[in-house]
Structure 1
Amino acid sequence: MSELVFITGASSGIGQALALRYYQDGARLALVARRTDELARWAAEQQLAPDRFAIYGADVADLEAMARIGRECIAAQGVPDVVIANAGISVGMDTAVFDDLAVMRRTFETNNLGLAATFHPFVAAMNARGHGTLVGIASVASIRGLPGHGAYCASKSAVVAYCESLRGECRPFGVRVVTLLPGYIDTPLTRSNRYSMPFLMTPGAFADQAVRAIRAQVSYRVIPWQMGVVAKLLRLLPNWLYDKLLAGRPRKQRAGG
């Protein structure tokens, strides 16, 4: 039987591009989104074969719902070969604004708890089976903090650390954990950015490279590689120089801002 790939945030952007790429390669799909109607329309437009995909409706921050759809997926389609925790949000915040603390909480609930909730239903089954791949989608924003983007940068740094911890836990059982750090991808999350986005990629181009990295079972990869070089160089800069370079840079737009 062809491989089964479970993807969250599949109704747009990176998640949708990954779903299409895997489908074109012959995989079966388990697709998770809050906007199931939109996802179903996309599947119809792409003429996906009904016996090769299933749609599950859930917000990844709803832990009970994610546990439930995980059980439903296993019962209906089997234990996935690849689980991609892609769903995430990116909203600017200002710590001086009280309401933005709720933005930070929602960001962590989606980007971090949602990631763990995506993996949770499958870890024990994959370990018992002796193989499988868990993929966490982080960001180059995890490497250094950006003004006005504290919630997102912190959440994606946590994704990297969490996946590293999980990798050590699962490795003895033959289960791999892959951490991918996209640079700037042309998606609804980035189109409102008010600053330059070097090495901007289409979702399809990212998906091509991401699938290759997942199949190679690399532990950590920045896509595109050019953005990885830039990010590493920024990490090496002393704080005074990094702060000077970012002085006056437009901040990430706040909710309703």
Structure 2
Amino acid sequence: MADAQARPLAFITGASSGIGQALAARFHAAGYDLALVARRTAEVEAWATAQALDANRWRVYGADVAVTDSIVAAGAACIAQQGVPDVVIANAGISIGIDTAQRTDLDVMARLLAVNNVGLAATFHPFVAAMAARGSGRLVGIASVSAIRGLPGHGAYCASKAGVVAYCESLRGELRASGVKVVTLLPGYVDTPLTRGNRYPMPFLLAPEAFAERAFRSIEAGSSYRVIPWQMGLVAKLLRLLPNPLFDRLFQGRGRKRREGEQ
């Protein structure tokens, strides 16, 4: 028990694949205990066992981030079983294209916002007061470089990730005097199941492990805002500066993110 109390703890949602798993592996390698959250708990347990992670240093919590009471309960269970985390990473998210002319896509957008925005706030909720009382901790929101400029066919996803940036900025100000850091990470293109179906070029594509290494360093440093890789941040900021007519012309005809059910 003394060893467990001495080790830091990372709470990570979306731990069943992609960025979530890569972050879990990186934090474990750095000596953290893990609280791993996913709907598909069996997959997380199988992955952790296959990676030969120390069985005494991780627990899996089943939760649906789209359901507020579900993810809040997972946070409460983590505190009861493992204590207040040092790092909370709200990584769970979905990425689906929409067409506003289609009625069914409005429901898709509602579900996407429930996961990417409300789910992120609900992930942080159980830990805010406890971290503030302790005077330390890091709350990490995973946004996207897509937050910087809206792209055709990506309306729901871009809106949700812009919302992550704005929400984390607000929360950072609220917690500034508490000792709790709020870190906003904006991944560019990372090779995960979410991106493999994209129908457009993905410059500066990173392996999940490469992203996790850079993200880990940013989280440890308590960076308030970081685009990974930095080259995508530069590209996005340049696009933000383009006059609207030029930007619209440049992206006319670009492949759109797949809508739900599209092959």
TM-score class, shorter? over 0.9
User: Contact 1:61–1:117 (CA<8 Å) still a contact in 2?
Assistant: no
2:222 to 202, 207, 217: 217
Q: Kindly provide the amino acid, as one letter, of the partner of residue 136 in structure 2.
A: H
2:243 to 211, 232, 238: 238
- Partner residue in 1 for 2:66: 61
- Partner residue in 2 for 1:156: 161
User: Contact 1:178–1:219 (CA<8 Å) still a contact in 2?
Assistant: yes
- Partner residue in 2 for 1:15: 20
Cα distance in 1, alignment partners of residues 211 and 72 from structure 2: 29
User: Contact 1:7–1:19 (CA<8 Å) still a contact in 2?
Assistant: yes
What's the CA shift for 1:48? 1.2
What is the aligned-residue identity percentage? Answer: 68
- Describe the SS at the equivalent of 1:103: helix
Kindly provide the CA deviation profile for residues 110-142 of structure 1, in whole angstroms up to 9, marking residues without a partner as x: 000000010000000000000000000000000
What's the CA shift for 1:2? 1.0
Kindly provide the CA deviation profile for residues 143-186 of structure 1, in whole angstroms up to 9, marking residues without a partner as x: 00011110000000000000000000111110000000000000
Cα distance in 2, alignment partners of residues 99 and 226 from structure 1: 36
Cα distance in 2, alignment partners of residues 88 and 248 from structure 1: 26
What's the CA shift for 1:203? 0.3
> How many equivalent pairs are there?
257
Note if 1:99 corresponds to 2:97.
no
Q: Kindly provide the amino acid, as one letter, of the partner of residue 171 in structure 2.
A: L
Cα distance in 2, alignment partners of residues 26 and 225 from structure 1: 27
Cα distance in 1, alignment partners of residues 48 and 34 from structure 2: 11
Note if 1:226 corresponds to 2:221.
no
Cα distance in 2, alignment partners of residues 219 and 149 from structure 1: 25
- Partner residue in 1 for 2:122: 117
- Partner residue in 2 for 1:196: 201
CA RMSD of aligned residues (A): 0.5
Q: Kindly provide the amino acid, as one letter, of the partner of residue 127 in structure 1.
A: A
Kindly provide the CA deviation profile for residues 202-248 of structure 1, in whole angstroms up to 9, marking residues without a partner as x: 00000000000011111000000000100010000000010010011
User: Contact 1:185–1:202 (CA<8 Å) still a contact in 2?
Assistant: yes
2:150 to 145, 149, 152: 145
- Describe the SS at the equivalent of 2:175: helix
Cα distance in 1, alignment partners of residues 244 and 181 from structure 2: 35
User: Contact 1:126–1:132 (CA<8 Å) still a contact in 2?
Assistant: yes
TM-score, structure 1 normalization: 0.99
- Partner residue in 1 for 2:3: none
What's the CA shift for 1:67? 1.6
- Partner residue in 2 for 1:34: 39
- Partner residue in 2 for 1:174: 179
What's the CA shift for 1:61? 1.3
What's the CA shift for 1:195? 0.3
TM-score, structure 2 normalization: 0.97
Cα distance in 2, alignment partners of residues 220 and 81 from structure 1: 18
